[in-house]
């Protein structure tokens, strides 16, 4: 039997900046991604913020690409032992 190893969930999606027109879309995305209420999402979106953490590098990259559609500057950050992925 071959045994699959779990993909490390050591990445985060960080939003560094965004235009004012993207704010509402980012607040909605934060609410869904972080499972929080509107007030908490508004507080997070007040400046640079971590959209998601403890995700795989692929999941973080998908989120970065999603916010890029809103013209936001975002990046993937490897937060723990990068293992086979190396650094971001």
- How far is 59 from 53, CA to CA, in rounded Å? 10
Please state, in angstroms and rounded to a whole number, the distance separating the CA atoms of residues 54 and 69: 23
- Percent of the chain past pLDDT 70, that is, above it, reads 89
pLDDT in tens, 37-67: 999 999 999 999 999 999 999 999 999 999 9
Indicate the pTM of the whole model: 0.82
pLDDT band at 88 (very low <50, low <70, confident <90, very high): very low
Average confidence (pLDDT) over 3-27: 93
Beta-bridge mates of residue 53: 12
How buried is 35 (Cβ within 10 angstroms: 0-12 exposed, 13-18 middle, 19+ buried)? exposed
Spell out the residues 6+ positions from residue 24 whose beta carbon is closer than 8 angstroms to its own: none
Instruction: Tell me: pLDDT of 87 over 80.
Output: no
């Amino acid at each position: 039997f071959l045994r699959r190893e779990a993909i490390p969930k050591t990445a985060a999606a960080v939003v560094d900046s965004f235009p004012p027109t993207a704010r509402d879309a980012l607040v909605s995305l934060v609410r869904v991604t972080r499972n929080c209420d509107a007030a908490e999402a508004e507080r997070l979106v007040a400046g640079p913020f971590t959209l998601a953490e403890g995700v795989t590098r692929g999941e973080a990259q998908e989120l970065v690409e999603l916010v890029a559609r809103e013209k936001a500057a975002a990046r993937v950050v490897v937060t723990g032992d990068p293992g086979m992925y190396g650094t971001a």
